[in-house]
Amino acid sequence: MASVSAARSFPVRVCESLLRASDRVHSVVRLRVTWFTSLVVLAATANTVDMFLCSDPFTTMAAGAANTTEEDLLMEANLTNATTPLTTTDEARGAVPCPHPAYYSCFSLLILLAASLLAQVSYMIKSAVMVVVAAVQCCMNLMMLWKLQHNSDQGYTWEPVCLSVELSLFTLLLITLNRQTEKTSRLLYLWRREVEEQRERAADIRQRNEALVYNILPQHVATHFMGIRRKKHEELYSQSYEEIGVLFASMPNFSDFYSEESVNNQGLECLRFLNEVISDFDQLLEATQFHDIIKIKTIGSTYMAASGLNPSRQVKEDDPVKVRWAHLALLVDFAFELVRALQSINEQSFNHFVLRMGINHGPITAGVIGARKPHYDIWGNTVNVASRMESTGKAGCIQVTEETTKILQHFGYVFEQRGLIAVKGKGELMTYYLVGKAASPQQVNGESLDYSRADDETKT
């Protein structure tokens, strides 16, 4: 019984059949109760039948206690003559002598103790089984006492009564201990369940906090801060990059759309529409093809993003242009996806918003500012020029510098020369409008020649 009940708890490996039987018994309540009851009843029945077939155990013990002589003790010590001959009555009913009748009550105590050790059975069932076993054993003891009272020619003993009282007290003690054990087990189960729930809530809160951090900061920056167990408020995070693409995209006619009138719920409806637009833009970043593009921030209706900030990207200076600046072409594709997303929103809301965008490339410095409210941002001349490309551009167009144009030519993009424009802090810069992708390499080469002619005309 103990082997099947505790098979999973054995420190050594046991046979698979025993493990399957243990799992089966533990998983089915009715099978577990039937298994427990059957084994206890079987052991108790064997003890009771053996005692019933014994030839007046307490009578034999009383007579032996009154007439014990030195010769009897010597005969009992002799192993060859240890058996006691049966009387005519004993032979007639097939009984055997019982030199130690108290062993039957002791065996009942062992049965009760074994029954109380099984924690998988309910306290009420164990108590009922133990009461039945103890009651049967006490009845057998009292029956032997009744036989003693009718045998006046033999000695008299109170041992059956003492054994019955001891058995009853032991049963009561086991019932009390089982009740306390089950109560403790239930409390431990409730506490364990509460701890698991608190652990799950803590894990859920942690996941939400991590998701919030990953939404505020880029993944590699968030991983850096989440990996630091002891954060210092004065600790700074900054990183310099040499080849980065920067995109600014704004809706210049959104300021005309925004109004704080009652029809717009004091401007709330306008902000709700802007939130829908920005959310659709953010959703584009979840696509696998745009995993190397990071949203930096939004300023009003202006959306700022950058490419090439992934530290896992390994490039060399002698790598081809298509390898080094693949992320810049990806940033251009992202810009076209922004246009498509805004067109879809316009069709659904019956609006006519357009994007004015500017793209530039070059070195920048990225870092996190703020300790309690961190914000990831990028700085540098590249960022300033990209912002000027957007602010001086034309609605519905993507304006780029001449250096950026030369790089994107390798990826098959077609440009339209705009001319020289005045850029604050940079003087006059030659800029181009990005039209789209060429259908064939010949168109790209031809477009490149046009750029050269345009440059010559500008110099003259």
CA distances for 454 relative to 217, 402, 428, angstroms: 43, 11, 15
Secondary structure letter of residue 252 according to DSSP: T
Alpha carbons 175 and 181: distance in angstroms, whole number: 10
pLDDT at 452: 36
Tell me the domain boundaries of the chain.
2-198, 220-459
Q: What is the C-alpha radius of gyration for the chain, rounded to an integer number of angstroms? A: 46
Look up 424 and say whether it is catalytic.
yes
pLDDT at 157: 61
- Give Cα 167 to chain centroid, integer Å: 51
Could you read off the pLDDT tens digit of each residue along the chain, which spans 460 residues? 566 666 556 656 667 777 777 766 666 667 777 777 777 888 888 887 877 776 555 444 444 444 444 444 444 444 334 444 444 444 444 445 565 667 778 888 888 887 777 657 777 888 888 888 888 888 887 777 666 555 544 445 677 778 888 888 988 988 888 888 888 888 998 999 999 999 999 999 988 888 888 888 888 888 877 776 555 555 678 889 989 999 999 998 887 777 666 655 666 878 888 899 999 999 999 898 898 899 999 998 899 999 988 877 777 777 888 888 999 999 999 999 999 999 999 998 888 899 999 999 999 999 988 777 888 999 999 999 999 999 999 999 999 999 999 999 999 999 999 999 988 888 899 999 999 887 644 444 444 334 333 334 333 3
Alpha carbons 121 and 238: distance in angstroms, whole number: 63
* Whether the Cβ atoms of residue 300 and residue 252 lie closer than 8 Å to each other: no
- Give Cα 272 to chain centroid, integer Å: 35
pTM of the model: 0.59
- Beta strands in 171-292, from DSSP E residues, in sequence order: 237-250
Please check whether the domain covering 220-459 is classified as CATH 3.30.420.10: no
- DSSP states along 64-112: HHHS--HHHHHHHH-GGG-SPPPPHHHHHHT-B--S-THHHHHHHHHHH
Residue with tokens 């693949």: 326
Q: Is the dihedral of CA 130, 133, 137, 138 positive or negative?
A: positive
Q: Which helix (H) or strand (E) holds 400?
A: strand 398-401
Spot the catalytic one: 8, 183, 208, 424: 424
Alpha carbons 100 and 113: distance in angstroms, whole number: 21
Spot the catalytic one: 388, 418, 426, 437: 388
